[in-house]
């Protein structure tokens, strides 16, 4: 019990002292989303950020995930299916590669009943692999593991007729969530640094390790 409270204090201290990044956004999501939001969380880093930093709350959000053999297949289409039948606001929390893998799902926007807000954590590649030893070998890591695509999501969204907005800070994020979107699907993009985020996480883990000494 004592160690748990100590760990929570460390997390809160790290989050308060951090710049605007994916873990900070995820930690604040429970209180920023409308109550009973249907939240679909993509694989790779988004679901792990949620596991690390989603706090207990009283807002009764409905969490959906695809695990197992699904990988990142059909991330966008699954979220659109949830939004199509949901009686509550629907949000997709995803990374850039997961969204790109199913980007043609945007073609079904005209058939969507309801609305979908996509929170895009764009760290230009597979951020989850930054935690592997191979990440130290830049000659192969970027091309074969991180696989950055350098896609301009604003242009991609215009191609599909989807509203897009970059969210450079918490205030912009709160404002965007509080306004109705001009299209059934909207993309709110947070640009991140996957290597910097992993260094931040390792610093946090080092603080945790001191609790066990």
What are the backbone angles phi and psi of residue 103, rounded to the nearest 5°?
-65, -25
pLDDT of residue 169 exceeding 70 = yes
Q: Taking residues 19-47, what's their average pLDDT?
A: 93
Higher pLDDT, 185 or 72: 185
Q: Please spell the DSSP secondary structure of 141-196, one letter per residue.
A: HIIIII------HHHHHHHHT-EEEE--SHHHHHHHHTS--SSSEEEEEEE--HHH
- pLDDT tens digits along 55-95: 889 999 999 998 766 678 899 999 999 999 999 999 999 99
Q: Distance between CA atoms of 106 and 45, rounded to whole angstroms?
A: 22
Q: Distance between CA atoms of 55 and 39, rounded to whole angstroms?
A: 14
Q: Which two tokens stand for residue 4?
A: 């748990």
> What pLDDT score was predicted for residue 200?
85
- pLDDT tens digits along 94-150: 999 999 999 999 999 999 999 999 999 999 998 888 888 999 998 899 999 989 999
What mean pLDDT is reported for the chain? 90
Q: Taking residues 159-188, what's their average pLDDT?
A: 95
Q: Are 79 and 40 in contact (CB under 8 A)?
A: yes
CB atoms closer than 10 angstroms to residue 64: 15
Residue 20: band (very low, low, confident or very high) from pLDDT cuts 50, 70, 90:
confident
Q: Distance between CA atoms of 176 and 179, rounded to whole angstroms?
A: 5
Task: Convert 29-68 into a string of H (helix), E (strand) and C (coil).
Answer: HHHHCCCCCEEEECCCHHHHHHHHHCCCCCCCCEEEECCH
Least confident of 17-21, 180-184, 188-192: 17-21
Higher pLDDT, 156 or 66: 156
Placement of tokens 């205030």 in the chain: 171
Q: Distance between CA atoms of 155 and 158, rounded to whole angstroms?
A: 5
* All residues at 6 or more sequence positions from 200 whose CB lies less than 8 Å from its CB, including other chains: 14, 18, 21, 23
Question: What pTM did the predictor assign?
Answer: 0.92
Cα–Cα nearest to 179, from 159, 162, 165, 160:
165
Q: Distance between CA atoms of 73 and 51, rounded to whole angstroms?
A: 21
């Amino acid at each position: 019990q004592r160690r748990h409270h100590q760990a929570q204090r460390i997390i809160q201290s790290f989050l308060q002292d951090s710049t605007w990044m994916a873990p900070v956004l995820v930690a604040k999501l429970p209180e920023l989303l409308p109550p009973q939001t249907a939240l679909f969380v993509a694989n790779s880093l988004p679901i792990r950020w949620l596991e690390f930093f989603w706090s207990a709350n009283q807002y009764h959000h409905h969490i959906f995930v695809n695990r197992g053999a699904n990988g990142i297949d059909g991330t966008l289409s699954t979220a659109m299916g949830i939004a199509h039948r949901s009686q509550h606001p629907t949000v997709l929390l995803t990374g850039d590669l997961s969204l790109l893998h199913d980007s043609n799902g945007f073609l079904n926007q005209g058939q969507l009943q309801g609305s979908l807000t996509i929170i895009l954590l764009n760290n230009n590649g597979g951020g989850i692999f930054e935690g592997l030893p191979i990440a130290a070998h830049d000659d192969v890591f970027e091309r074969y593991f991180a696989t950055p695509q350098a896609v301009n999501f604003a242009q991609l969204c215009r191609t599909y007729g989807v509203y897009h907005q970059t969210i450079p800070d918490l205030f912009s994020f709160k404002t965007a969530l509080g306004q109705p979107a001009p299209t059934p699907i909207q993309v709110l993009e947070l640009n991140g640094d996957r290597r910097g985020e992993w260094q931040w996480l390792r610093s946090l883990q080092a603080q945790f390790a001191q609790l066990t000494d």
